[in-house]
Structure 1
């Protein structure tokens, strides 16, 4: 099984001509009776060995974290040690030198990237907490937010260094998530412990989510044919942007604390429909997947309010599952209906509906 990244690498190495690669894409798309531009190629597995290596790497990372956490100093005597995150980050980078840079394995590369960024965040956060002192952090929300923002900034820099070395597509999304953490942490530090802090953070998270979405669209616009690594980068950014947009909206409506009314649940469904239309226009199913948990929650709550308590989740799953399967089966036709009425200038920036893939 060959991925888009493999085809791209083969063309870059001269093993395949761009025309041959395009012919192969078109042939596979024709066999599936789906236009290649609507396939939304995404590389996660190259074979079962990806799963095998990912499991082995996860076990090793847990082991080194355990060993590192046994080394002093610790927060609160028996709390976390900065060596736990440091050992995880160092091990993940070393493994990536082989499994990512040489073997180009998809799933292990994702696991190792997340471990490296997460380990860097944990190590820097614990180290800062130890440097500042536990007493300073106790019941001091602004200082804790500043520590979290600083650790997130370190994780952002780590993600950038990892991208420069390994070019794993999810790295940009991981860095963007860390950057969002930096901004929210600094806002929490500046605002302080106030009753309105939660709503302020939710509002800024919504704005940042829109920013991540626009950033994802920038990556998409640089590869309208969806044939390079830039398309994979955009995929992960869309996957990040959706919850950053949806969670603040639904939280401000009161859905996440169980106080939503039936009317607000209907609004949630309307937001999801808007997400569906956007996903069709930009040809990105990731938006629908990221927001799926919230709409399931909204529909379940709606059915419970109408008395179907025992079967509320079953009804919800039946409706959402059927709708998404129908949408998948008729995705191309639905895209045509959504994209064609749009202005020409906007259509030119979106993946085409009826065109065939041509070489850049």
Structure 2
């Protein structure tokens, strides 16, 4: 199985002419009756060996973390030891030198990135908690800020060495953590401020994702993979914070007006998803529209069948959207001003 990245590497290495690679893409698109530019390709598995190595890596990292937690270095018994994170990070980097840099294995690379960045963040956070065991809200937020900042630096170092596409999204999420923690350290105690900040951070990461997307409108390079993961990071930040601020999940029931607002927002997310050719917003907000539609069916009297009717309506709508995605996207993009549509992904790779 060859991915888009493999095709790019083959063309760059001179093993395959660019025309042959494009002909292969066109052939696959014709067989699937859908332009490949609409498929949102990303590498998660290069083979079952990815799963095998991923399982082994997780077992090894868990063991290393467990053993590292025994190296207390003054940490109280009820506190995690920072050495656990450092050892996990060190082993993750070492494994990445082979499985990422040499073998280019997709799933293990993602897990090892998480092990490295997560290990660094955990180590700094645990060390801060050990040094300031009685920290208040403001100081705890500052500790989180420093830990998130270390995560940004760790992600940057990992990107410079291995260039795993998801790394940029991890670094962006860590940077968002820095900003949120700084503000929370200055203004602790607010219940809605964290979600407002999360919404702002999500919109910022979304803008960054669009910047990467606009630099590869044909989606034939690594930049498109980076944009995919950035969209995947931004979407839950936007959806969860926005719907929380609207009070959608407060209580077991939802009013008809609020349910209608949720559905309207989901439709708006769908229009944005079609325009930018990314589905992350639709997936991240799916739980909320399910809850809203479920509430509407209950209020209409279909109490026993409400979940079944909700799943039927949403499932059918999403499948229909998937089948007609390219045609619907053509209508949306065609109605946009040229200055905007010319910056969005191509409707057809052949245009590139």
| CA-CA distance at 1:357 after TM superposition | 5.3
1: CA distance, partners of 2:301 / 2:169: 41
Q: What are the residue-to-residue correspondences of 1:198-347 with 2, within 5 Å?
A: 198-258=191-251, 260-347=254-341
Equivalent in the alignment of 1:86: 86
Distance 1:281 1:150, change over 3 A: same
Q: Confirm or deny: 8 A CA contact 2:152 2:171 kept in the other structure.
A: yes
2: CA distance, partners of 1:106 / 1:90: 19
1: CA distance, partners of 2:305 / 2:144: 42
Distance 1:74 1:324, change over 3 A: farther
Distance 1:306 1:60, change over 3 A: farther
| CA-CA distance at 1:198 after TM superposition | 2.2
2: CA distance, partners of 1:63 / 1:327: 45
Q: Confirm or deny: 8 A CA contact 2:216 2:345 kept in the other structure.
A: no
Equivalent in the alignment of 1:121: 121
Q: 1:180-219, CA deviations, whole angstroms, 9 ceiling, x for partnerless residues?
A: 11100001001123xxx12122222212211111110000
Distance 1:76 1:261, change over 3 A: farther
Q: Which runs of 5+ in 1 are unaligned?
A: none
1: CA distance, partners of 2:142 / 2:104: 37
> Secondary structure of the residue that 1:198 maps to in structure 2?
coil
Equivalent in the alignment of 2:133: 134
> Secondary structure of the residue that 2:219 maps to in structure 1?
coil
Q: Which runs of 5+ in 2 are unaligned?
A: none
Distance 1:270 1:68, change over 3 A: same
Q: Confirm or deny: 8 A CA contact 2:93 2:112 kept in the other structure.
A: yes
Equivalent in the alignment of 2:185: 189
| CA-CA distance at 1:75 after TM superposition | 4.9
| CA-CA distance at 1:229 after TM superposition | 0.6
1: CA distance, partners of 2:299 / 2:138: 40
Q: Confirm or deny: 8 A CA contact 1:22 1:357 kept in the other structure.
A: no
| CA-CA distance at 1:256 after TM superposition | 2.8
| CA-CA distance at 1:355 after TM superposition | 5.5
Q: 1:271-309, CA deviations, whole angstroms, 9 ceiling, x for partnerless residues?
A: 111111111011112221222233223333433444544
Q: Confirm or deny: 8 A CA contact 1:54 1:107 kept in the other structure.
A: yes
The number of residue pairs the alignment matches comes to 351
Distance 1:143 1:304, change over 3 A: farther
Q: Confirm or deny: 8 A CA contact 1:37 1:356 kept in the other structure.
A: no
1: CA distance, partners of 2:203 / 2:230: 11
> Secondary structure of the residue that 1:203 maps to in structure 2?
helix
Between 165-174 and 65-74, report the one with greater CA deviation. Answer: 65-74
> Secondary structure of the residue that 1:134 maps to in structure 2?
coil
Q: Confirm or deny: 8 A CA contact 2:202 2:238 kept in the other structure.
A: yes
1: CA distance, partners of 2:6 / 2:83: 37
Q: 1:137-184, CA deviations, whole angstroms, 9 ceiling, x for partnerless residues?
A: 1xx111111111110000011001000000001000000111111100
2: CA distance, partners of 1:168 / 1:243: 21
Q: 1:331-357, CA deviations, whole angstroms, 9 ceiling, x for partnerless residues?
A: 111111111011011110012224515
2: CA distance, partners of 1:114 / 1:12: 29
| CA-CA distance at 1:84 after TM superposition | 1.3
Distance 1:262 1:222, change over 3 A: same
* TM-score, normalised via structure 2 length: 0.95
Q: Confirm or deny: 8 A CA contact 1:212 1:241 kept in the other structure.
A: yes
Q: Confirm or deny: 8 A CA contact 2:294 2:306 kept in the other structure.
A: yes
Equivalent in the alignment of 1:178: 174
